Amino acid sequence: MPELPEVETIRKTLKELIIGERIKEVEIRYPQLIKRPDDATQFGLSLKGEELVDIKRKGKFLLFEFEHYTLVSHLRMEGKYAVYSSDERYDKHTHVLFHFESNRTLHYRDVRKFGTMHLFRKGEEYNQVPLLKVGPDPFEEAYQLTHIAPLIKKSQRVIKNILLDQTVIAGLGNIYVDETLYHASIHPMRTGDSLSDDEIKTVLAQAKLTLEEAVLKGGSTIRSYVNSQGEMGMFQQQLYAYSQEGQPCKRCGDEIEKTKVSNRGTHFCPTCQKLSS
C-alpha cells in the first residue's frame, strides 16, 4: 500500500501535470470504486465542467480540489494515477478516466480494485467519512508532541500498532513504522505506556524525519509502486529494517529479524531495539 511518501510524490507529480485542467467528462468503468455519492453517474455529472484548482494530501488520502467539489481518493494496495493523451488506449485495470477539455485524460488504474473515491461539496470533506477521524499528518502544524504523546503514553497497545493507527497519526504504514522504530531504537512490541517521555519524543521526531527523507527519494518501490510519470521510488535503497531480515544491522552488525505483530511482518534489530525499557 502506498504510504505518505508515495502519496505525496504522486500529489506533487500530478500537481505539475494537471492543475488548471477542466473536466469534459468522467468515464467510470468500475462504479464500485465510487463510494460517494451512491449514484456513480451523479459523481461524473457533478464534476463535468469543473476546473481542478489544487491537489492536497491528508495522510494516505489524495484530495483533488475543484471549483465546487473535493474528490477524496485512497489508492489502497495498487491504485495508480497517470496522465495520457485522450487517444491513448487503456487496459482492463483502468477503472476511472477523467477526460479534460485539453484532450488529455487522467487514468485511475487499480489491479485489485480496492481503491475508493468520495466526492464532497467543497469544505465538507473533513467533517465526514473517510477523513472525519483521521489523525494529524506529520507534515501538518497539528502534529504536536503535546497532542500525540498522551495518546501513546496511556495506551497498552504495542507501539507498532499505535503508529499504524490512522486516527493517531495519518500516513504511516508498515515500511515507515519499521524504519521509524529502528532509528528510534524502540522495539516494535513495547507498549505505549512503557515508553518514557523522551522515547515518545524521539519516536515522533524520527517518524517525521524518516518520512521527509523518503519524500526526497520519491518514496519506496518494494513491489509495484511508481509515481504518475512511471518513475520508481529510491528510498528502498536505504532501508535499515524493513525487508532486511537476515542482513547485518548497519549499526551493530547483529542480524535483522522478522516477526509478526498483529499479523503484520515486522523487522527490527534485537540488539539495538530491546524489548525491555
* Active site (catalytic) residues: 2-3, 60, 264
| 99 assigned ligand-binding residue | no
What is d(CA 273, CA 128) in angstroms, rounded to the nearest whole number?
39
Q: Please report where in the chains the cell 499528518 appears, as a residue.
A: 137
End-to-end Cα, the chain, rounded Å: 31
Query: Cβ of 151: how many Cβ atoms within 10 Å?
Result: 16
| 251 assigned ligand-binding residue | no
**Do residues 99 and 108 lie in contact, with contact meaning Cβ atoms separated by under 8 Å?**
no
**Do residues 47 and 88 lie in contact, with contact meaning Cβ atoms separated by under 8 Å?**
no
Query: Cβ of 150: how many Cβ atoms within 10 Å?
Result: 12
What is d(CA 275, CA 259) in angstroms, rounded to the nearest whole number?
13
Which residues make up each annotated binding site for DNA?
93, 112
Which residues make up each annotated binding site?
93, 112
